[in-house]
Chain A
Amino acid sequence: MMHAPRSLQARLLLLLLGLMAGVWLAAAALTWLDARHELDELLDGHLAQAAALLVVKQTGDIDDDAPGVDAPTLHRYAPKVAFQVFHEGRLSLRSANAPLRPMIEGAMSPSGFQTVQLDGQAWRVFAAQGAERDVRVFVGEQLASRAAILWAVLRSTLWPLLLALPLLALAAWWAVRRGTAPLRSIGRQLSARAPQALQPIDMSGLPDEMLPMIAALNDLFERISALMEAERRFTADAAHELRTPIAAIRAQAQVAMAETNDAARAHALQATLAGCDRATRLVEQMLTLARLEGGAAPALQPVALAELARSVVAELAPQALARQQQIEFDADGASASQVDGDATLLAVLVRNLVDNAIRYSPPQARLRVSVAASGRQLVLRVEDSGPGLSEPDALRLGERFFRVLGTEQSGSGLGWSIARRIAAVHGATLRVGRSTGLGGLAVEAAFQLRR
């Protein structure tokens, strides 16, 4: 089994040359058939005419006294042509190369063509019947001579074609090569690119057939470039964000080293640890976000959202209580409701929302976390009695490292990005609004209820 060549150029060339050879062969076959047909018609006509002449001559001028007289051989082609004239059953005239017996034995057919074997040669014989005195004439011609003529005709027509074939092949090769030049030029252009070069390929002057491919490639370049830009920005932002906690750790550690007062040293050491915790949390958040943005879809399993939210609230309640905040959880009627999701990620989502509410609400604020079924949706809601958000701030929430100004809390601004991404991979969107019950911020995530 032969494989098609991998090169487009070779493939085109092979196809073209094959087609050319096919057309050439078909033309040769047609010429052969046509020429043979015409030749047969012409020569058969001559045979018939010759026979008719002999019949006429024999009827008018019978020389019974000179039977079997050989006619002279006049032409170099003559040996290939033979005739016999029978008069009342006797051979009265024949060519030198004609046999003595009738070329068509016992033929009752009055006249017509027949192909017979004489002395191992194929002959085309025309038999004619005189109307009077029982004259029978046979005119024959060697078939080999016809083939020779046919070959001569074919040779003269096919030789130029055969000679032209290599030239045509060369021309086809040149044409194909020229036609595929833009492909090679694009290939060269692409392979010469630096790995970071993601600017689009210039599409002007490209053949129409290549436009969809190059357009798709340009589109890909654009997406990769956007992705790399986002990645680069994230890395830069992340590095900057890490500088502050590291600076804090360093400063506090240096203070602790130089401090002679025990209480002050203990304070500085505590602060050093707190700085480490914060840097750790920031790194964890960045990793979570990076994993989420890597685009790997989580394995979805039935999750009892209310139970999960309850345990997160239980975990974070001490933080709220430390700020003298009241925190309550409500999942009336939705305790058993499930959503399709990743329990770990959903816990991160709830933790981020509740943690934000605790951090950014003032001391003594009221916080409420609820899970409630609404139609075909299960809605997680985190509300507080804090100051809420201004319109522009609400719009900027979710931008990485965006923090609301004027807050005492040291957040990374990553919590929102993470919460939003987790909601997105679960097909839910985060909605930010004002809490009707508590007056502060209300954040909602509506999930598809599992049936």
Chain B
Amino acid sequence: MRILLAEDDPLLGDGLRAGLRQHGFLVDWVRDGEAAERELRAQPYGAAVLDLGLPLKDGMEVLAAVRRAGITLPVLVLTARDGVPDRVKGLDLGADDYVLKPVDLNELAARLRALVRRSHGQPQERLQAQDVVLDPAARSVLRAGEPVLLSAREFDLLHTLMLNAGRVLTREQLEQHLYSWGQEVESNAVEVHVHHLRRKLGSALIQTVRGVGYMLLREAPRGAA
């Protein structure tokens, strides 16, 4: 899961990035409001962690601008401002969650996962499609009750596909979800990962839409074994 972290404090930003990475997130870190807005407009992040006291452009303004632009990604506001009016304003402007500093990393990760899940209309923590169950918190995958070992990228790809089950995702979209900044995207990496996933989880799970991209099927197609 690729998320944007907007935090101007170097120590806190560094800590949050490292901590969220430990929880399996791909983290892009920006340090001012303008960069945050630019990135949110340009990239399909799964979620954003937004500090309010950002230089150049206040977090509230960034949030308002992003929502005006019709970007619906879940935004978790992380702030030192604990006044009830601040919280109300933040939520009214379109924040999905409002967390006060200091925050426990495990809690932050759990809240982010919940936000992402709900933004995809998934009420359950675990995602299920056919005989495959994916647990984002444990970063584990079961097939017919048996654990399946996936690489980090394979897991992220499966996670993205499961969240968007029933929808076609283009290769570019998938690549953007799989790589944070500075990571070299190998050519046909997505194809390679899909190939591995099919090998480990069965070929009926992920369908190729030729010339467009891939789609994960929640229910096994009729007639398929």
Contact with B along A208-249 (1 / 0, CB 8 A): 000000000000000000000000000000001101111111
Prevailing SS type, chain A contact patch: helix
| CB-based contact B11/A254 at 8 Å | no
| CB-based contact B56/A254 at 8 Å | no
Q: Given the complex of chains A and B, what is the CA–CA distance between A264 and B103 in angstroms?
A: 21
- Kindly specify which of B16-24, B147-155, B211-219 makes contact with the partner chain: B16-24
Counting CB contacts under 8 A, is A436 at the interface?
no
Decide: A271 near B56, CB < 8 A? Known: A244-B101, A258-B19.
no
Decide: A408 near B10, CB < 8 A? Known: A243-B80, A251-B15.
yes
Counting CB contacts under 8 A, is A407 at the interface?
yes
Instruction: Report chain B residues within 8 Å CB of A348.
Output: none
Q: Given the complex of chains A and B, what is the CA–CA distance between A41 and B59 in angstroms?
A: 109
Q: Given the complex of chains A and B, what is the CA–CA distance between A278 and B102 in angstroms?
A: 15
In the complex, which of the residues A245, A246, A255, A410 contacts B22, with contact meaning CB atoms closer than 8 Å? A255
The chain A residue sitting closest to B19, CB to CB, is A255
Decide: A246 near B101, CB < 8 A? Known: A271-B11, A405-B56, A406-B55.
yes
Contact with B along A266-298 (1 / 0, CB 8 A): 011001001100100000000000000000000
Instruction: Report chain A residues within 8 Å CB of B102.
Output: 243, 246-251
Contact with A along B1-41 (1 / 0, CB 8 A): 00000000111101110110010000000011000000000
Decide: A250 near B80, CB < 8 A? Known: A255-B15, A405-B32, A405-B56.
no
| CB-based contact A251/B105 at 8 Å | yes
| CB-based contact B55/A251 at 8 Å | no
Counting CB contacts under 8 A, is A92 at the interface?
no
Instruction: Report chain A residues within 8 Å CB of B55.
Output: 403, 405-407
Counting CB contacts under 8 A, is B135 at the interface?
no
- Separation in Å of the A389 CB from the closest CB of chain B? 15
Contact with B along A57-84 (1 / 0, CB 8 A): 0000000000000000000000000000
| CB-based contact A244/B56 at 8 Å | no
Counting CB contacts under 8 A, is A88 at the interface?
no
| CB-based contact A248/B105 at 8 Å | no
Q: Given the complex of chains A and B, what is the CA–CA distance between A274 and B12 in angstroms?
A: 11
Counting CB contacts under 8 A, is B100 at the interface?
yes
Decide: A245 near B11, CB < 8 A? Known: A250-B103, A264-B18, A407-B55.
yes
The chain B residue sitting closest to A241, CB to CB, is B80
- Separation in Å of the B53 CB from the closest CB of chain A? 8
- Separation in Å of the B52 CB from the closest CB of chain A? 10
Decide: A251 near B22, CB < 8 A? Known: A244-B101, A246-B102.
no
| CB-based contact A259/B10 at 8 Å | no
Given A405-B56, A410-B9, 6 further pairs, Cβ under 8 A: A241-B80, A244-B101, A248-B12, A258-B22, A407-B55, A408-B31
Counting CB contacts under 8 A, is A252 at the interface?
yes
Q: Given the complex of chains A and B, what is the CA–CA distance between A251 and B15 in angstroms?
A: 5
Q: Given the complex of chains A and B, what is the CA–CA distance between A259 and B17 in angstroms?
A: 13
Decide: A259 near B18, CB < 8 A? Known: A271-B11, A405-B32.
yes
Decide: A410 near B10, CB < 8 A? Known: A255-B18, A268-B15, A405-B56.
yes
Counting CB contacts under 8 A, is B172 at the interface?
no
Instruction: Report chain A residues within 8 Å CB of B82.
Output: 240
The chain B residue sitting closest to A275, CB to CB, is B11
Could you say which of B11, B14, B104 has the most chain A C-beta atoms within 10 Å of its C-beta? B11
| CB-based contact B103/A274 at 8 Å | no
21 contacts between A and B (CB under 8 A): A240-B81, A240-B82, A245-B11, A247-B101, A248-B9, A248-B11, A249-B102, A250-B15, A250-B103, A251-B15, A251-B18, A254-B19, A254-B105, A255-B18, A255-B105, A258-B105, A267-B18, A271-B14, A405-B32, A406-B55, A410-B10
